[in-house]
Each structure stands twice: as structure tokens, then as C-alpha cells.
Structure 1
Amino acid sequence: MFISETKFTVRYAETDQMGIVHHSNYPVWFEAARTGFFKKLGFPYSKIEGEGILLPLTDIKCCFKNPARYEDEIEIRVKVIKLTCVRIMFFYEVYNDLDKNLIATGETAHAWTDKSLKPLNLEKRLPGLYEVLKRVVF
């Protein structure tokens, strides 16, 4: 089982007039966590894309529990919860790193495609990555 953690500080530009992180930032944070996840697995996005493989988003969900504010220290945990040869789904937990309060949870679903966005079979196209991912699915 593999959970990747990404940490950062909330920037002023990510907050709204109420001083709370705007909801539009969470997909960006999920992407940053997912990018770190692949890098820690030894398959950075640039390497995957260099093989002609893309990972477009097909679905996203976010549930907000507590507000995040300017200068909060944030930790995002990501894990793979579903994997097939043509799809992958991630689950995210966003925490305040100081008090460990849960801020949000989320899920993203993606398809493995070629550069023309035609679905492809990851197990056949990049078997090393597929085998590593199979070992980390929760």
C-alpha cells in the first residue's frame, strides 16, 4: 500500500474575500499531489508523457469539511483506489498540517490515452508502470 504526501503553505492568491481558500484551488492541489505521487513511484509525468501516454481527467469530486486559510500549512495525501488497464482513480485527503484537522476529501478519475486522446491499455503500453500501480492500489 502506498500513500504519497505533499505539503505546502496556502498562498494569499488562493484565498477569497472571506480569507478562505477558494474551492477552485482544490483541483490544482489534487494535481500537485498526483504529480508528486507518480514522481515518488519513479514514473514522473514527464516520463509517462514521453512515452506518448496521457492521463486526462474524466471525473472529479470534492467534499469540504473545514476551511483552509492564508498561510495554513497543508498536507495532501493521495492514494490509488481503483485501477484497470484503461482507467485509474485517486482518493485525496487534505489536512491542516499543524492541527491535523481534515479540510477536504476528493476523488479524481482518469483515462489512459494516447496523444489523440484515444484510450489505450496501460498494461500493454507501459507494463512497468502498470505493475507498480497494481502493487499500490488500496
Structure 2
Amino acid sequence: MKTKTKLTVRYAETDQMGIVHHSNYPVWFEAGRTDFIRQTGVSYSDIEARGVLMPLYEIACRFKSPARYEDEVTVVTSLKELSRVRIILSYEVVRDSDGALLATGETLHAFTDKGLRPLNAERAAPDVYKLLKAALEVPSGFKKS
């Protein structure tokens, strides 16, 4: 399963060189991740209401080409790996006008309780885990409906 989140580069996101500052990509990844989770059939707030948190513990971003003010971009998000204790999501940021790949990245998240102690997501929120697992099993190029 892959989701697409559309964004338009705001002036405040650019630096003195007129390109998107690197600090914005994690924010864009978060927008993509939030959309991805929602499209599995549950929201972040629903997951947290069940007592399950997903703190970020690692992030990677590889820059390929610069984005500029008013570029329309799409963050393509997919689930790379899921276990009972962690989830890894992958991202591609693409410029809509020419299809140029601007950046790729990954975020790694643990499943924890509200005290940030690790927990087994399959036991703590079996319905959520089942939805995420189903998203992992959807063939590439297909969007779960």
C-alpha cells in the first residue's frame, strides 16, 4: 500500500539559497505518515486512545534534487516493515511538475505505552496491528480501499 500526500512549498520553508531547507523534510514525512495511518482505517489519535504510542527513534533522509518555493510536491509513503514492537515507513518526495525525485527517507518507530515502555502492539491493540499488517500485504502500486 502506498499513499500520496500533496503539499505546496511555502516561502517560509525555503532558505537563503531559495531551496527548501532540510529541516522541512521530517515535517513532510510526518504529514505522509499521518495520511498513511489514516488510510489504513484508524487515526493516530485512535491509536493513542488505546494506550499505544509510536515514538520516532530514527530518521534518515537522502536529498536528490532541490525543491523550491511554490513547487507542488507529493510525499509517497509506504510501510516497509512491521513487527510487534516497531514499524518502519519509507518516503519518496516527488515534484509534481516533472516527476523529479527530490528526496527519499525512512522513519523508525517503536510501539510503547504512555510511559514510553516498549509493548507488543499485536497484544495491546490487535485491531490496529491487523490493519497495519494488511497495509503491508497490499501489493505494490495498489491502494487499499
Q: Shared fold (TM-score greater than 0.5)?
A: yes
Corresponding residue SS for 2:134: helix
Q: Matched residue pairs, number?
A: 137
Identify the residue that residue 45 of structure 1 maps to in structure 2. 44
C-alpha RMSD of the superposition:
0.9
Corresponding residue SS for 2:133: helix
Looking at structure 2, the residues matched to 31 and 77 of structure 1 have their Cα atoms a distance apart, in angstroms, of 11
Identify the residue that residue 62 of structure 1 maps to in structure 2. 61
Identify the residue that residue 131 of structure 1 maps to in structure 2. 130
**Native 8 Å contact 2:40 2:135 kept in 1:** no
Superposition map of 1:19-38 within 5 A: 19-38=18-37
Identify the residue that residue 87 of structure 2 maps to in structure 1. 88
What's the TM-score once normalised by structure 1's chain length?
Answer: 0.96
Identify the residue that residue 11 of structure 1 maps to in structure 2. 10
Identify the residue that residue 77 of structure 2 maps to in structure 1. 78
Identify the residue that residue 118 of structure 1 maps to in structure 2. 117
Corresponding residue SS for 1:137: helix
Structure 2 residues without counterparts, runs of 5 or longer: 138-145
4+ residue stretches of structure 1 with deviation over 2 A? none
Report the residue type matching 1:124 in the other structure. R
Percent identical across equivalent pairs?
A: 57
What's the TM-score once normalised by structure 2's chain length?
Answer: 0.92
Looking at structure 2, the residues matched to 36 and 135 of structure 1 have their Cα atoms a distance apart, in angstroms, of 16
Corresponding residue SS for 2:19: coil
Structure 1 residues without counterparts, runs of 5 or longer: none
Corresponding residue SS for 1:59: strand
